[in-house]
Amino acid sequence: MDDNWAAADGLHHFIGNRWVVAASGQTLDVIDPSDGRPFAKIARGNSADVDAAVRAAQRAFGEFGDGAWGRLSAAERGRLLARLAARVAECGEELARLESRTTGKPLRQGRADAAALARYFEYYGGAADKLHGATIPYQPGMTVLTIREPHGVTGHIIPWNYPLQIFGRSVGAALAAGNACVVKPAEDACLSLLRVAELAAEVGLPDGALNIVTGLGAEAGAALAAHPGIDHLSFTGSPATGTRVAQAAAQHHCPVTLELGGKSPQIVFADADLDAAVAVIVNAIVQNAGQTCSAGSRLLGERPIYEELLARVGDAMSRLRVGPALADLDVGPLIRHSQLQRVQQYLSQARADGIALAAQGRIVDDAPPAGFYQAPALLRDVPASHRIAQEEIFGPVLAAMPFDTEAEALAIANGTPYGLVAGVWTRDGARQLRLARKLACGQVFVNNYGAGGGIELPFGGVKSSGYGREKGFEALAAFTRLKTVAIRHG
């Protein structure tokens, strides 16, 4: 198995542990963002393919949870996930290369993502037989108990920025809880997931427990969200698409978990340890070229250290080298040409509005000219209400602004439509706790920042960043439904 695994005749859907040609016979090109050239083909799925995958998953689950997958004990599911974790770890380098090649991320990030996928299967495999209900004190002569049941068939719409990780967090938890899964990865970056599905079949996941249908969002994705056979849907992507997906799911009263991105602030107070903060702040915006839901894309600096902070972050940023994914430099290309144009439009708007560029990284001379490269940029004194400080750019653009008081920092931090993650840098313990309580978001990091990290840590947003929590033990609740059984026995 090598980088050409996907190159030969193109790849198909993976349904019921078999490669299945698209019902339409059509394919889509997969573009390498490092050189702008097509290098693989995937199936262009439509509603017929989605229907076949849902039916395979329903068979695996069984009408009463008695299918080949549904009837396994929790311990057996856990063991299979542990085997899959080990197989993913064995194939880590291959998965990392596929991930880097398709997403454009530097190889060491691809390796980190493959390692995280193995950890997700390990973690959720271990959790499978530790999920249980309760007994509830009620009336004399009665016993009331709750049973945690899987939903049945879960749908998973995955974006292109972290396919392995986002697949791991949602499919890992769903399988551990006993659901059969139908996955629609992003058209730009799905090769690694097709390979993982093959590995899952190899380690013995029964036919239909895990199915992947590739294709366009408006076709295969929309068909999955609307399919009445889907009992729970997880979506990670943009707010606009999330709204469409939730509307489609609502037509058949299907519960949804939405993770929709952010505009996460890094709040740096004058007493912060800048030596520790600077490298973390830079990494949090350039990791995956800023195409990270939890990217720390706003830098709020307390006035007395604002200039020093800008100088130090700017210095680190100007030393970053941008180049091809597999060259494993500091930053890779953006996912596609339209994304590059979008980021460049934001930067032109900033220029037109007189926002100063404080520092910029460098695209290496031998980067292929047709690749989608964007040098990381630090913009200074960005008004908190400007588009650059309000909208998710999804590129390596850090918007810096000063503040004078804690109250002002909090107002700026909470003053966007999003609320996913926040970073707080201060040595003052009371302030750490005050802010942790008052920040409107799903995760707060104090004196560290975990863009995309921490598989054990519940993750999700408020406001336009979405709802529901993934990762950690908490995620398992979303992939089960509670049944209450009340027995009168006298």
**Token match 């940023």: residue?**
317
- Which lies closer to ligand ADP via its Cβ, residue 157 or residue 272? 157
Interface with ligand ADP includes 43 (CB under 6 A)?
A: no
- Which lies closer to ligand ADP via its Cβ, residue 206 or residue 460? 460
- Least gap, CB of 241 to ligand ADP (angstroms): 3
Print burial letters for 28-67: b (CB count within 10 Å at least 16), e (below 16): bebbbbbbbeebbbbbbbbbebbbbbbbbbbbbbeeeeeb
- Which lies closer to ligand ADP via its Cβ, residue 222 or residue 299? 222
Interface with ligand ADP includes 219 (CB under 6 A)?
A: no
Interface with ligand ADP includes 184 (CB under 6 A)?
A: yes
- Which lies closer to ligand ADP via its Cβ, residue 212 or residue 367? 212
Interface with ligand ADP includes 380 (CB under 6 A)?
A: no
Mapped onto helix, strand or coil, the DSSP state of residue 452 is coil
- Which lies closer to ligand ADP via its Cβ, residue 159 or residue 371? 159
Number of residues this chain uses to bind ligand ADP (CB under 6 A) = 16
From the list 187, 293, 302, 470, the catalytic residue is 293
Pick from 187, 231, 259, 330 the residue near ligand ADP by CB under 6 A.
187
Single-letter residue type at 446:
V
Binding segment for ligand ADP among 11-19, 219-227, 341-349, 353-361 (CB under 6 A)? Answer: 219-227
Sign of CA pseudo-dihedral 346, 99, 214, 255: negative
Single-letter residue type at 47:
S
DSSP 86-154: HHHHHTHHHHHHHHHHHH---HHHHHHHHHHHHHHHHHHHHHGGG----EE--STTEEEEEEEEE-SEE
Catalytic site residue 259?
Answer: yes
- Which lies closer to ligand ADP via its Cβ, residue 167 or residue 403? 167
Residue window 227-256: x/- pattern of binding to ligand ADP, with contact defined by CB under 6 A: ----------xx--x--xx-----------
| Residue 208 and residue 232 in contact, taking contact as beta carbons nearer than 8 Å | no
Q: Which residue is nearest to ligand ADP (CB)?
A: 217
Nearest to 266 by CA among 229, 238, 317, 306: 306
- Which lies closer to ligand ADP via its Cβ, residue 166 or residue 299? 166
| Residue 33 and residue 395 in contact, taking contact as beta carbons nearer than 8 Å | no
Interface with ligand ADP includes 159 (CB under 6 A)?
A: yes
Pick from 221, 265, 423, 460 the residue near ligand ADP by CB under 6 A.
221
List, in order, residues 6 or more apart from 217 with CB less than 8 Å away. 157, 184, 186, 187, 237, 241
Pick from 158, 205, 367, 422 the residue near ligand ADP by CB under 6 A.
158
Binding segment for ligand ADP among 2-10, 13-21, 157-165, 369-377 (CB under 6 A)? Answer: 157-165
- Least gap, CB of 375 to ligand ADP (angstroms): 21
| Residue 415 and residue 422 in contact, taking contact as beta carbons nearer than 8 Å | no
* Separation in Å, CA 319 to CA 251, 326, 334, 364, 373: 51, 19, 19, 11, 16
Binding segment for ligand ADP among 24-32, 152-160, 268-276, 444-452 (CB under 6 A)? Answer: 152-160
Output the CA angle 121-127-128, nearest 5 degrees: 90
| Residue 331 and residue 283 in contact, taking contact as beta carbons nearer than 8 Å | no
Catalytic site residue 94?
Answer: no
Token readout for 390 is: 């309000």
Interface with ligand ADP includes 218 (CB under 6 A)?
A: yes
Residues annotated as catalytic (active site), given as ranges? 259, 293
Which residues lie near ligand ADP (CB under 6 A)?
Answer: 157-159, 184, 186-187, 217-218, 221-222, 225, 237-238, 241, 244-245
